[in-house]
Every structure is written in structure tokens, then in C-alpha cells.
Amino acid sequence: MHGVIHALEVFSDHVRSIAWLPMLLGLACQLLKMGARTRAWRNVLAAAYPETAVRWRSIFGAYAAAAGVNAILPARGGDLLKLFLVKRRIDGATYPTLAASLGVETVVDVILSTALLLWALQHGVLPGLTVLHRFPSIDWFWLFRHPRELGVVAAAVAVLGLACYLWAARHVREFRRRVARGFTILGSPGRYAREVVSWQLVDWGLRLATIFFFLRAFHVPATLENAARVQVTQSLSTIVPLTPAGIGTEQALVVYVLAGQASRSALLSLSVGMKLILSALNLTLGAGALAVMLRTLRWRRALAREHSPST
């Protein structure tokens, strides 16, 4: 937290020097990125539920609401809200199918993230193991520095996994059918390439464009390689997101991977400033989406009502 607070102070000192036009272009790319991302997911769901009209605006609203929640809560709690909202908007939708559809949506992400990580490792972009443990801001290491808490987390995950297995064993046939439904579009490779992969490639291009414009906004050399370096840090920061949006991890890694490109204060300002500005955008969109879709901002209460025994 001390490192993050220091970075926030540095960012506040650099606010007046931000180039606002590139920043606005970066925000525009972020919005377009969300549009492309949700188009891909909408097409996955449309294949899973061909008998039902799957409206893109509903999928976009659910995604925006989840992004807003993930901006302020750790462990990607907004993803549960996303599934909840989509289930309300698609007649006959089930959680196993919706969860499986997210798996389809991440296939391209895994491939491209892995390729980018291999590139970063091959070119020595990331810190080695002998250096990595010295970064206190990287939230993955909190678990390893606290073995008792790690044991509790591991036990909780094991119990949850066992509970899911026992439930699935009692409903195995229906459960498998619902899960398989989420992967329907993979049975048509041509459709999958046209309606999902194409949109996800656009999504990734817009990710890099967003970073490129933020590099310009914070007066850090804006090149494709530098944008790729920052994208690597963003991917790594969400592996175990113990902090909201993985801000501590990303802040530490951005300063390392762009070392020598600008002053340390400029890199700190970039790492925290970009995260804060994008989080503010996500919060604004998320609040608007929740207000429209649930007619309330108290999404936890809505989730509790949905899963209460009386309902």
C-alpha cells in the first residue's frame, strides 16, 4: 500500500503535464475495445441459445457493470455479477452454460497472452526470479509470504471444488449438457473464426492502441514494443488479482519493463494514472449499466435475493 500511495502522490504531481488529446483517444479506444469484446461474447451466447434473441446491448451492459465492480473490488468479484445480469436477460439461460461461454471467450486471450509472455521472456523484458521476489507490490507474493493464509485459501478452494464435484455428480448428465451448450460455436470453426476470433483480434488491437495513446499522454516513448511491454504487465497483474484491478502488481512491473524509457516518476505516473483513469471510466459505465439493468446500484442485495431459499 505504501508503494501505491507514493505512486498516487507522484501522479498528482504530474496531472498538469498530461497531454489530454492522446488520453481522450485512449479512452475512445477503451470503449471500442469493450464493444468488440462484448460482440464476441454475444456471438458465443447466440450460438448457445439460437432459439432466444441475445441482444448485444444487454451483454455490453453486463460486461460494463462487471468491469466497474472489478475496478474497486479484488478477486474479480464483478464476474459473478456479469453472469447474474446476463442470466436475467436471456430466457432459459443457466449458469453452467454461461460459465462455459466465458471459457470459449478466453481461448484467444490465452493464446495471445502466452505468445506475448514468451516474447517478453525471450527478450528479457520481465525481471528474473532472483529479482522478482524483491517487488513487494506484486500481490501474488502475499500468499507465499503468509503460508497460513495460503493454506486457508487452498483449503477453501479444495472444499469449493469438492462441493462442485458432488453437485455435478448428482446432476452429471444435465450438467454436462448445459456445459457443452456453452461450447456450441466451437462446433462450427468457420463461424467461430468470423464471429468470435475476428472480434477478439480487434479487441487486442484496441488494447495496444489504448496503451499507445496513454504512453503519449504521459510523455513516455509511444512505440508498439513499449505498448506490448505494458500489455504484458496488465496480463500478469490479473493472474491472482488480490488487489482491485491488480494495481500494485502492474505499478511495480511497468516501472521495471519501461526502465530507461523515461524518468521513474514519469513511469510511476503512467502506471497509476492509466489505471485510475480507466478505472474511473469503468466505474462510470458500470454504475450506468447497473442503474439501467437492475434499477439500483445495490447489486449485492440483488444477488442475495436471486439466490435466497425463498426464490
Least confident window among 38-42, 183-187, 189-193, 297-301: 297-301
3-state secondary structure 194-245: HHHHHHHHHHHHHHHHHHHHHHHHCCCCCCHHHHHHHHHHHHHHCCCCCCHH
What integer is the mean pLDDT of 204-225? Answer: 96
Global confidence as pTM:
0.80
Residue 185 is inside which H or E element, if any? none
| Cα distance between the two ends of the chain | 41
The answer to whether 268 touches 11, Cβ cutoff 8 Å, is: yes
Q: Which residues contact residue 201 at a Cβ distance below 8 angstroms, ignoring those fewer than 6 apart? A: 108
For the cut 50, the answer to whether the pLDDT of residue 131 exceeds it is no
- Residue 84 CB: number of other CB atoms within 10 A? 21
Q: Which residue has the higher pLDDT, 298 or 261?
A: 261
For the cut 80, the answer to whether the pLDDT of residue 306 exceeds it is no
Q: What is the pLDDT of residue 303?
A: 64
The answer to whether 10 touches 207, Cβ cutoff 8 Å, is: no
Q: How far apart are CA 206 and CA 203, in angstroms?
A: 5
Q: How far apart are CA 290 and CA 2, in angstroms?
A: 33
What integer is the mean pLDDT of 132-161? Answer: 63
Q: How far apart are CA 291 and CA 300, in angstroms?
A: 13
**Hey, what's the cell of 213?**
495513446
Quickly tell me which residue has 488529446 as its cell. Answer: 21
What integer is the mean pLDDT of 114-139? Answer: 69
**Hey, what's the cell of 182?**
456453452
The answer to whether 99 touches 182, Cβ cutoff 8 Å, is: yes
For the cut 60, the answer to whether the pLDDT of residue 139 exceeds it is no
Q: What sections of 15-106 are H helices per DSSP? A: 20-48, 56-70, 78-89, 95-105
Percent with pLDDT over 70 in the chain: 77
What integer is the mean pLDDT of 2-22? Answer: 72
Q: How far apart are CA 194 and CA 62, in angstroms?
A: 23
Q: What is the pLDDT of residue 267?
A: 87
Q: Which residue has the higher pLDDT, 240 or 57?
A: 57
Q: What is the pLDDT of residue 310?
A: 47
Q: How far apart are CA 120 and CA 127, in angstroms?
A: 10
Identify the band that residue 132 occupies on the pLDDT scale cut at 50, 70 and 90. Answer: very low
The answer to whether 120 touches 233, Cβ cutoff 8 Å, is: no
C-alpha dihedral sign at 196, 207, 114, 246: negative
Q: Which residue has the higher pLDDT, 103 or 16?
A: 103
The answer to whether 93 touches 184, Cβ cutoff 8 Å, is: no
Q: Which of 304, 276, 260 is nearest to 125 (CA)?
A: 260
- Residue 15 CB: number of other CB atoms within 10 A? 9
Q: What is the pLDDT of residue 98?
A: 95
Residue type, 45: L
